[in-house]
Amino acid sequence: MNKDKPRPRESAVRPVRGDMFNLPFEDESFDGGISINVVNSCNTYQVYYLLKEIYRVLKPRGFLILSSFGYYESTENGKVSYNNEFKRNDIIQVNIVKALAKRTGYSETEDVSLDMERIKTELKKADEYKNKNSQNKVEVKVVAPFGLLLRK
* pLDDT tens-place string over residues 18-60: 899 999 999 999 999 999 888 877 888 999 999 999 999 999 9
34 CB contacts (<8 Å, ≥6 apart)?
64, 65, 66
In a domain, 18, yes or no: no
In a domain, 16, yes or no: no
Q: Note if the pTM is more than 0.75.
A: no
In a domain, 50, yes or no: yes
86 CB contacts (<8 Å, ≥6 apart)?
43, 71
> Residue 60 carries which DSSP code?
E
> 61: domain range?
30-151
In a domain, 93, yes or no: yes
In a domain, 83, yes or no: yes
In a domain, 1, yes or no: no
In a domain, 2, yes or no: no
Q: How confident is the model at residue 13 (pLDDT cuts 50, 70, 90)?
A: confident
For the segment 57-69, what is each residue's pLDDT rounded down to a tens digit?
999 999 999 988 7
In a domain, 3, yes or no: no
| 90, pLDDT greater than 90 | no
In total, how many domains does the chain have?
1
Helix axes 94-104, 44-57, angle to 10 degrees: 50
